[in-house]
Homo-oligomer: A and B are copies of this chain.
Amino acid sequence: MSKPARLSGFPEWLPAERLVENHVIDILRRTFELHGYAPLHTRAVEPLSRLAKNGEIDKEIFTVGRLSAGEAESKNPLGLHFDLTVPLARFVTENAGRLDFPFKRYQIQPVWRGERPQDGRFREFIQADIDVIGDGALPEHYETEVALVIAKAFEALRPLGLPPATILVNNRRLIEGFARGAGLEDVPAVLRSLDKLDKIGPDRVHELLLAEAGADDRQARLCLALAAIESEDDGFVEQVRALGVSHPMLDEGLEQLARLVRAAAERAPGTVRAQLKIARGLDYYTGTVYETVLHGHEDLGSVASGGRYDSLASLGSRTFPGVGFSLGLSRLLSRLIGPEGLRASRKVPAAVLVAVTDEESRPAADRAADALRARGIPAEVSPDAAKFGKQIKYADRRGIPFVWFPGTGLAGEVKDIRSGEQSGADAGSWEPPAEDLWPRVVGGAPSHPVGRQ
């Protein structure tokens, strides 16, 4: 086989890093399931027509075909999903008769985008999504719920050494009402301009508003003044009112956002913050929008984003409004996993390496290993009957803490290769210390076991 060339934008973890990723996925699953979200896994491909936005196929979409495509396939070309929201909308309309609404699901899968790869941006990456979908209507309190579930997920990751996260909220109707109240009609252009604030700064956004949103100087100043407002409580309402813009849709957006911020502050003070510059690029959002920043990693951008969408899915006149979050797992872990960050306490699951004296006695080593595994202790057997020193080195290189030397039956000797301590033990009853049973995630704060219990 020829020399391998890495594919840019398609990162892969070494097994010791994948141990950490699996552990993080397990924590997310548990958090989502504790809140009643059911698991979903959708196919990787969708008809290209479904992946199109406003009838146009985005250049970032990966198409899927076959060298010898049949007629049916040529008529219905496929692409890889670029998020988990579009597949969800399709799944809901396809299975509406078999689902119970409101439908709460989580989904942790790879998605694909043909973007230019850069720090934290990949072409294949794992997203962890939660959404609540209603049939016809969806109560507003779910907008608080999804934000707090995501906050709980980040909280559950804190013991691994994750910094605190803040969920930033805004409301599309608030921005749209404000823009209209200020006399601006091209709302998408206003949103697009404000969305660039963090990247290009207020002066250049001011220019953009003039050039692309048809704003005059006063209107651009007003938009930038709005975008500068933020508060942990509903204090933002007064600040917006002070700008002197009024519109019924603005009132509606202010009230919605105030209710969300108050409800969140009551249940989880300090978690959610109104920040009126949050715009979100995706045009299917119709109300509340969310972003999430990790303290000290603000440059990474949002690690969990989402919003309310009222018209993503429908069957004839029947609509399925929804609200949800996408947590960028790969982006998060690209920053956190590494020699200076999170890593597994060992490279393999095994807590014990069973040594082999000679190949004739391998069955005895296998029996000892099986006895340990039967009691939930991960074990592997030495690849060969090399000198014990070499077998200990095999364990040491992988971080396996214990080496077992089989004796008669299940009796043997067990050596903690870190301390060098060795003592007699029985494979039918010996237990490693609980903290050594499974690899742990280390490198951040207190370490946590990686394996399942």
Chain B, Cβ-Cβ closest to A39: B18
Taking CB atoms, residues of chain B closer than 8 Å to A267 are: 363, 366-367, 370
Cβ–Cβ contact B43 & A7, under 8 A: yes
Give 9 new A-B contacts, CB below 8 A, not counting A12-B91, A57-B67. A14-B95, A15-B38, A18-B40, A22-B39, A33-B438, A33-B451, A34-B379, A36-B350, A37-B349
| Contact indicator A63/B62 (Cβ below 8 Å) | no
Determine whether A380 belongs to the interface, using a CB cutoff of 8 Å to chain B: yes
**Complexed CA–CA distance, A136 and B252 (Å):** 70
**Residues in A23-63 with C-beta less than 8 Å from chain B:** 26, 29-30, 33-45, 47, 49-50, 57, 59-63
Neighbouring B residues of A26 by C-beta, 8 Å: 452
Interface residues of A in 91-128 (CB under 8 A from B): 91, 93-95, 98-100, 102, 104-105, 110, 112, 114, 124
Q: Which residues of B are found within 8 Å of A62, using beta-carbon distances?
A: 64-66
Q: Is A397 an interface residue (CB 8 A)?
A: yes
Asked if A390 is an interface residue, CB under 8 A from chain B, the answer is no
Q: Tell me the smallest distance from the CB of A19 to a CB of chain B, in Å.
A: 6
Q: Give A319's nearest chain B residue, CB to CB.
A: B1
Residues in B neighbouring A7, C-beta threshold 8 A: 43, 45, 47, 78
- A7 CA to B78 CA in the complex, in Å? 10
Q: Given A12-B91, A95-B14, A266–B363 Cβ distance below 8 Å?
A: yes
**Is A12's CB under 8 angstroms from B41's CB?**
yes
Judge whether B34 and A1 touch: CB under 8 Å.
Answer: no
- Offer 18 A-B interface pairs, CB within 8 angstroms, sorted by A: A2-B49, A3-B93, A10-B43, A10-B45, A26-B452, A29-B452, A30-B451, A33-B378, A33-B438, A34-B349, A36-B379, A36-B380, A37-B349, A62-B65, A63-B64, A64-B64, A64-B80, A100-B397
Say how many copies of this protein the assembly contains: 2
Q: Which of A33, A139, A363 has the most CB of B within 10 A?
A: A33
Number of residues on chain A facing chain B (CB within 8 A): 103
- CB within 8 Å of B: which A347-404 residues: 347-350, 359, 362-363, 366-367, 370, 373, 376-381, 383-384, 397-398
Could you tell me if A66 and B63 are in contact, using CB atoms closer than 8 angstroms?
yes
Q: Does A423 contact B (CB under 8 A)?
A: no
**Which residues of A are interface residues toward B (Cβ below 8 A)?**
1-7, 10-16, 18-19, 21-22, 26, 29-30, 33-45, 47, 49-50, 57, 59-68, 76, 78, 80, 89-91, 93-95, 98-100, 102, 104-105, 110, 112, 114, 124, 139, 141-142, 145, 263, 266-267, 312-315, 347-350, 359, 362-363, 366-367, 370, 373, 376-381, 383-384, 397-398, 438, 451-453
Report chain B residues within 8 Å CB of A266: 363
A16 → chain B closest CB, angstroms: 7
| Closest-CB distance, A37 to chain B (whole angstroms) | 7
Q: Which residues of B contact A61 (CB under 8 A)?
A: 66-67
Query: Do A139 and B384 contact each other (CB < 8 Å), given the known contacts A44-B124, A45-B7?
Result: yes
A45–B373 touching, CB < 8 Å: no
**A54 CB, min distance to chain B CBs, angstroms:** 13
A191 to chain B, nearest CB (A): 23
